[in-house]
């Protein structure tokens, strides 16, 4: 089954390319066709999964850049299978949901295309067995996410850019971390990095490796203080928020650290993960409770749940990983449901504001059941999957290794965030569905509601029949930790401390609910001392303005300013060369010919003429004259190739300059004597510097090795006697190819700037 | 400058310049010349045409559009490189073939001539683009 892995990716990529055609043929129903593809792939992975659950791993490998230890390798183990199924199943439902959410429009092809491409990237990310491959897919999810958030432009541009930059910085950190690890293990194989953790944790580079790795994971999974991009990303249409920013992409950071559990487990860095995780969990839950916009509430809830998962990964035991895995499934199901239903409400009732919505239960009984089940699962009420994942998390927290005081604190904060989760979960339902009905509303179409119904009921069934989840979660946790344990998820564990914590969670949650008014008042007064988004924007703006200020001295329409900077730099370089290099002559300079003196005298006259000319055409002609005189110098030195080139270039330059100059006034603008003196001084200094270097260097050394090689190899290897030409078209052909590409761009640039401008007339 | 004498001269000179340009291109591998220089020379013919008959005149007598020249040039240069890959060599590796032509003697054809032709087209394209667009009347 190893070939399934690349085939699945290629299939998704192919359908991403085909999406616009499908949309042209089927309209928005193309979402169903794409959903069917996702579902078929999910079935294929489920069938292939049988072996994986028994502990086997499917591997596919193809050498990509063997010289640097990079290969295209995919690995399907328990952890990868869990995430792959999440990506494909939620993907299939989101595509089916999209087919009813979006209205027919020509740009829908692009949206579907990007969504499918994102699914391929996310699948590639969790299957990648090579660090560079992982990074490439990681970056692809960032880019597709950017385009999906920014779709439509306008006010979506700022949040999309913020998300791109924050996660993009994380991507680069991840890349650096992987490169550092590869420098220790010798290649980019992730299995090799994990097989001997002490080699990496014991290395002097370990702190850098871990800081960069955690930065990558924290930015992607929206951990405090990088969380702010995620609520901003909610400007995207609901199907995109559901898929990328709730169920899959934001879990990439969780996946990354789960994958690197063997490295983290033995180090102190896991306390950083736990710390950031619990802070994020509590912060997200508290802010979620303040929200009135249902989508914003869900966004902060996602931040909080990601923090909860992060803390579990930080604990790093088998039980903790198993709890994290089952929570990933539970969260994927209930959060997808909640997002999709909020999208439905938004479309039907025209608002997402909890203060405006009321009594929807009376008009939409089926919708109410669906959101109720999902909300209860999020709140952690039995017998839903969310209850099991939360209780399993409590077990893991209570068993966590480490200093007692620390684990107790962790547990208390996690329970507190779970209580808040219960409160805001209930708030969605009570706020929007209870109370009197204020508008005329109808139950949405079955086809619109069906995907949410599937995820909602799925979470319920898996809660009741939790033994179905056991093998997958067990295999995933085994793959992450490398231990051989079995997991026993169950609804009823007996009267344990974890059950006690669950009771406290629900009890306190209900209490918060009853004291709603007072809680709301308290939350409204609460203000975070530092606002992430504003701080980021300030940093961003000052970076941009710093760039502007740094560039300002060079921003000018006047060529003389640009030329002065170049001249000054060249003079400084020349002066520097004299300081660091010994220019004492190696031999005697070649003696000049009588003809040389004549040409030089003419050159000086022509140059002085250019400087003195007030008429543009005269200056252009005199400048051409200096060029032709230089050609004469080349001829005297015996370089026919150079003479030809110089003559032709000079001719054409004069012609082109005249073409431009005839549009300008005949005379140059009068300039102040001070500026003329400055120009004269700079020009003379430059000329004298160049002359001095030429005098000291030219003709005083032997043929260089490279020069000798070209002269020798030209006739032998390139079958050409003209060394200039063999260098251009044989030895340095790649350079020449680059140069003519630049020339081609210049030609296109002239066309675009001048040719196009005239078209409208 | 649009005079009878200039027009007549240009009409006579254009084929001569182009012939010389092709000659420089072909001999470039062994003697002074090559794609760059040859294209500059051909560019001189385009400029002369421009002065004799304006941009319309230039493009009428020499039916060259810069876009097809750019495309052809880049395709030829890159294509020669890719062809090397198919021959089992590295990108842009040259090759040489010698024919015995009766009465003329040995004729040498190098793969880099194709590359040089690509350079020729692109350089000529730049000149055509500049002359035909910057040279337009207001």
pLDDT of residue B136: 67
Report CA dihedral (A455, A458, A463, A468) to the nearest 10 degrees. -130
Select from B30, B116, B138 the Cβ nearest to the Cβ of A729: B116
Residues in chain A: 761
How many domains are there within chain A?
2
Q: Return the percentage of chain A with pLDDT > 70, whole number.
A: 97
Residue A91 burial class via C-beta count within 10 angstroms: exposed 0-12, middle 13-18, buried 19 and up? buried
* Residues belonging to chain A with any Cβ–Cβ distance to chain B shorter than 8 Å: 640-641, 644-645, 648-649, 651-652, 655-656, 659-660, 663, 718-722, 724-726, 728-730, 733-734, 736-737, 740-741, 743-744, 746-748, 750-751, 754-755, 758
- pLDDT at residue A292, as a whole number: 87
The confidence band for A330, taking pLDDT boundaries of 50, 70 and 90, is very high
Asked if residue A669 has pLDDT above 60, the reply is yes
Beta carbons within 8 Å of A49's beta carbon, 6+ residues apart = A81, A85, A472
User: What average pLDDT does range A315-334 have in this prediction?
Assistant: 94
| Least confidently predicted of A286-295, B46-55, B111-120 | B46-55
Q: How many CA atoms lie within 13 A of A754 on its CB side?
A: 18
Q: What angle do CA A87, A91, A97 make, to 5 degrees?
A: 155
Nearest by Cα to A83 from A136, A47, A36, A119: A119
- Inter-chain residue contact B29 with A720, CB threshold 8 Å: yes
Strands B105-110 and A70-76: unpaired
The closest CB to that of B70, out of A660, A726, A747, belongs to A747
Residue A585: which pLDDT band, with cuts at 50, 70 and 90?
low
Nearest residue, CB atoms, A652 vs list B44, B66, B92: B44
- Residue A120 is predicted with a pLDDT of 96
- Looking at the complex, report in whole angstroms how far the Cα of residue B10 sits from the nearest Cα belonging to chain A: 16
Average pLDDT, chain B: 81
In a domain, A67, yes or no: no
What is the rounded CA–CA span in Å between residue A721 and residue A728? 13
Q: What is the pTM of this model?
A: 0.77
Containing A267, the helix (H) or strand (E) segment is none
Partners of B65 on chain A (C-beta within 8 Å) are none
Residue A643 has pLDDT above 80, yes or no: yes
The top-scoring range by mean pLDDT among A34-38, A373-377, A391-395 is: A34-38
pLDDT attached to residue A43: 95
- Compute the nearest-CA separation of B103 from chain A (Å): 22
Q: Does B20 touch chain A (CB under 8 A)?
A: no
Q: How far apart are CA A630 and CA A93, in angstroms?
A: 74
User: Cβ of B122 and A747 within 8 Å?
Assistant: yes
Q: What pLDDT is recorded for position A605?
A: 94
Question: Count of domains in chain B?
Answer: 1
pLDDT, one tens digit per residue, over A383-432 is: 899 999 999 999 999 988 888 888 899 999 999 999 999 998 888 878 77
Residue A327 pLDDT > 90, yes or no? yes
Model confidence band, residue A1 (pLDDT cutoffs 50, 70, 90):
low
Please tell me the least confidently modeled range out of A694-698, A710-714, B24-28.
A694-698
Q: Which residues of B touch A743 (CB under 8 A)?
A: 122-123, 125-126
The CA R_g of chain B, rounded to the nearest whole Å, is 17
Distance CA A433, CA A739 (A): 67
**Of A477, A494, A514, the domain-final residue:** A514
Token output for A659: 């073409």
- Please report residues of B whose CB lies closer than 8 A to that of A645: 36-37, 40
Predicted pLDDT at A529: 67
Does the residue A257 lie in any domain? Answer: no
B122 touches chain A (CB under 8 A): yes
Domain annotation covers residue A381: yes
Contact A130, A60 (CB under 8 A): no
User: What pLDDT does B2 receive?
Assistant: 59
Q: Which structural domain range is residue B11 located in?
A: 4-134
pLDDT value for B104 = 64
Structure token pair of residue B22: 């092709």
Comparing A405-419, A464-478, A715-729, which segment has the lowest mean pLDDT? A715-729
Output DSSP code: residue A187: S
Which of A53-62, A627-636, B61-70 has the highest average model confidence (pLDDT)?
A627-636
Assess contact for A376 and A390: CB atoms under 8 A.
no
Angle at A477 between CA A475 and CA A481, to 5 degrees: 120
CA B115/CA A355 separation, integer angstroms:
71
State yes or no: pLDDT of A303 exceeds 80: yes
Residue A231's φ and ψ, nearest 5 degrees, are -60, -35
Convert the pLDDT of each residue in B38-83 to its tens digit.
999 999 888 888 888 755 555 555 667 788 889 999 999 988 888 8
Provide the greatest CA pair distance for chain B.
57
Which region, left, alpha or beta, applies to residue A186 given φ > 0 means left and ψ of -120 to 50 means alpha? left
What DSSP designation does A69 have?
T
CA distance A41 to A9: 10
Q: How far is B15 from chain A (nearest CA, A)?
A: 18
Domain that holds residue A450: 276-514
For A26, A545, A551, A717, the CA distances from A548, given in Å and listed in that order, are 49, 5, 5, 51
What is the model's pLDDT at position A525? 79
Rg (CA), chain A: 34
What is the rounded CA–CA span in Å between residue A351 and residue A11?
A: 38
Q: For residue A221, which phi and psi values (nearest 5 degrees)? A: -95, 25
Q: Confirm if A100 and A346 have CB atoms less than 8 A apart.
A: no
Q: What is the residue whose two structure tokens read 């949410």? A: A452
**Confidence (pLDDT) at B137:** 59
3-class secondary structure, B96: strand
* pLDDT value at residue A581: 77
pLDDT digits (tens, 9 = 90+) for A105-138: 888 999 999 999 999 999 999 999 999 999 999 9
Task: Name chain A contacts of B66, Cβ cutoff 8 Å.
Answer: 747, 751
Q: Which residue did the predictor score with more confidence, B95 or A201?
A: A201
* Residue A315, domain member (yes or no): yes
HSE of A637 in the Cβ direction (CA atoms, 13 Å)?
15
Residue A71 backbone dihedrals phi, psi, to 5 degrees: -135, 160
Number of CB atoms found within 10 A of residue A161's CB:
17
Cβ of B73 and A740 within 8 Å?
yes
Residue A458, in any domain of the structure: yes
pLDDT, one tens digit per residue, over A475-518 is: 999 999 888 777 777 777 777 888 888 999 999 988 988 888 78
The pLDDT mean for chain A works out to 89
Q: How far apart are the first and last CA of chain B?
A: 17
- Among A551-560, A580-589, A635-644, name the one with the lowest average pLDDT: A580-589
**What CA–CA distance (Å, rounded) separates A240 from A248?**
10
Whether A439 is covered by a domain: the verdict is yes
Record the tokens describing residue A242, joined without a space. 């559901």
In a domain, A628, yes or no: no
Rounded Cα–Cα distance for residues A275 and A268 (Å): 11
Structural domain contains residue A351: yes
A435: helix, coil or strand? coil
Note whether B44 contacts A: Cβ–Cβ < 8 A. Answer: yes
Three-state DSSP at B10 gives helix
Test mutation, A631, A643, A729, chain B, max B CBs within 10 A? A729
For residue B133 the two structure tokens come to 């667009």
For A546-587, give the secondary structure using H, E and C. Answer: HHHHHHHHHCCCCHHHHHHHHHHHHHHHHHHHHHHCCCCCCC
pLDDT for the residue numbered B57: 56
Q: Give the whole-number percent of chain A exceeding pLDDT 90.
A: 53
According to the model, what pLDDT value does residue A761 have?
Answer: 42
Whether the Cβ atoms of residue B94 and residue A620 lie closer than 8 Å to each other: no
């Amino acid at each position: 089954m190893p070939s399934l892995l690349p085939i699945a990716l290629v299939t998704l990529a192919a359908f991403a390319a085909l999406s616009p055609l499908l949309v042209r043929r089927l309209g928005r129903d193309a979402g169903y066709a794409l959903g069917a593809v996702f579902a078929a792939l999910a079935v294929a992975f489920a069938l292939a999964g049988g072996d994986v659950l028994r502990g086997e791993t499917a591997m596919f490998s193809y050498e990509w850049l063997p010289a640097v230890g990079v290969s295209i390798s995919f690995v399907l183990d328990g952890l990868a299978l869990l995430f792959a199924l999440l990506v494909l199943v939620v993907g299939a439902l989101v595509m089916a949901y999209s087919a009813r959410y979006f209205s027919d429009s020509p740009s829908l092809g692009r949206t579907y295309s990007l969504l499918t491409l994102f699914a391929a990237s996310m699948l590639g990310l969790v299957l990648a067995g090579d660090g560079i491959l992982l990074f490439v897919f990681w970056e692809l999810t960032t880019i597709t996410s950017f385009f999906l958030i920014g779709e439509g432009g306008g006010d979506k541009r700022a949040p999309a850019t913020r998300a791109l930059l924050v996660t993009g910085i994380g991507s680069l950190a991840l890349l650096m971390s992987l490169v550092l690890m590869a420098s220790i293990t010798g290649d980019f194989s992730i299995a090799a990095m994990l097989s001997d953790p002490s080699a990496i944790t014991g290395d002097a580079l370990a702190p850098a490796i871990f800081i960069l790795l955690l930065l990558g994971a924290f930015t992607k999974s929206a951990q405090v203080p990088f969380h702010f991009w995620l609520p901003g990303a909610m400007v995207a249409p609901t199907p995109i928020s559901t898929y990328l920013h709730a169920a899959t992409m934001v879990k990439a950071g969780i996946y990354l650290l789960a994958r690197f559990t063997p490295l983290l487990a033995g180090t102190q860095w896991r306390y950083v993960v736990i710390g950031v995780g619990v802070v994020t969990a509590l912060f997200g839950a508290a802010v979620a409770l303040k929200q009135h916009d249902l989508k914003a509430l869900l966004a902060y809830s996602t931040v909080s749940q990601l923090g909860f998962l992060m803390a579990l990964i930080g604990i790093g035991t088998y039980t903790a990983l198993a709890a994290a895995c089952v929570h990933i499934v539970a969260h994927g199901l209930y959060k997808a449901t909640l997002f999709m239903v909020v999208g439905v409400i938004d479309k039907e009732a025209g608002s997402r504001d909890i203060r405006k919505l009321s009594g929807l239960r009376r008009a939409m009984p089926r919708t109410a059941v669906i959101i109720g089940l999902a909300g209860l699962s999020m709140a952690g009420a039995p017998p839903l999957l969310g209850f099991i994942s939360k209780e399993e998390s409590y077990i893991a927290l209570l068993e966590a290794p480490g200093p007692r005081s620390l684990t107790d604190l962790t547990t208390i904060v996690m329970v507190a965030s779970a209580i808040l989760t219960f409160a805001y979960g209930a708030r969605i339902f009570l706020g929007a569905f209870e109370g009197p009905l204020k508008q005329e509303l109808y139950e949405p179409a079955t086809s619109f509601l069906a995907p949410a119904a599937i995820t909602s009921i799925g979470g319920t069934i898996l809660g009741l029949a939790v033994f179905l989840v056991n093998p997958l979660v067990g295999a995933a946790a085994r793959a992450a930790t490398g231990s051989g344990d079995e997991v026993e998820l169950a609804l009823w564990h007996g009267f344990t401390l974890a059950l006690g914590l669950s009771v406290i969670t629900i009890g306190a949650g209900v209490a918060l609910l009853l004291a709603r008014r007072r809680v709301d008042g308290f939350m409204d007064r609460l203000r975070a001392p530092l606002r992430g988004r504003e701080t980021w924007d300030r940093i961003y703006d000052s970076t941009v303005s710093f760039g502007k200020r740094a560039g300002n001295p060079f921003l000018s329409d006047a060529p003389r300013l640009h030329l002065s900077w170049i001249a000054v730099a060249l003079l400084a370089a020349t002066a520097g060369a004299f300081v660091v290099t010994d220019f004492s002559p190696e031999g005697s300079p070649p003696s000049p010919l009588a003809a040389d003196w004549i040409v030089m005298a003419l050159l000086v006259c022509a140059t002085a003429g250019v400087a003195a000319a007030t008429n543009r055409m005269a200056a252009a002609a005199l400048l051409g004259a200096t060029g032709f005189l230089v050609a004469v110098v080349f001829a005297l030195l015996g370089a026919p190739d150079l003479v030809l080139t110089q003559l032709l270039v000079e001719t054409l330059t004069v012609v082109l300059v005249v073409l431009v100059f005839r549009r300008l006034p005949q005379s140059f603008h009068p300039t102040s004597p001070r500026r003329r003196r400055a120009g004269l001084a700079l020009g003379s200094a430059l000329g004298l510097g160049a002359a001095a270097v030429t005098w000291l260097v030219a003709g005083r050394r032997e043929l260089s090795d490279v020069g000798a090689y070209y002269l020798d190899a030209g006739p032998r290897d390139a079958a050409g006697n003209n060394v200039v030409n063999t260098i251009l078209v044989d030895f340095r052909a790649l350079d020449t190819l680059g140069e003519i590409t630049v020339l081609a761009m210049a030609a296109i640039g002239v066309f675009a700037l001048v040719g196009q401008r005239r078209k409208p007339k | 400058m649009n005079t009878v004498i200039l027009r007549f001269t240009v009409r006579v000179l254009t084929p001569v310049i182009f012939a010389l340009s092709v000659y420089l291109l072909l001999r470039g591998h062994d003697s002074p010349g090559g794609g760059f220089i040859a294209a500059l020379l051909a560019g001189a013919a385009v400029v002369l045409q421009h002065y004799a008959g304006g941009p319309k005149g230039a493009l009428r007598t020499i039916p060259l559009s810069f876009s097809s020249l750019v495309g052809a040039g880049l395709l030829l240069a890159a294509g020669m490189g890719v062809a090397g890959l198919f021959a089992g060599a590295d990108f842009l590796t040259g090759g040489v073939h010698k024919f015995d032509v009766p009465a003329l003697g040995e004729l040498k054809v190098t793969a880099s001539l194709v590359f040089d032709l690509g350079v020729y087209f692109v350089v000529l394209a730049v000149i055509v683009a500049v002359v035909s667009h910057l040279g337009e009347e207001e």
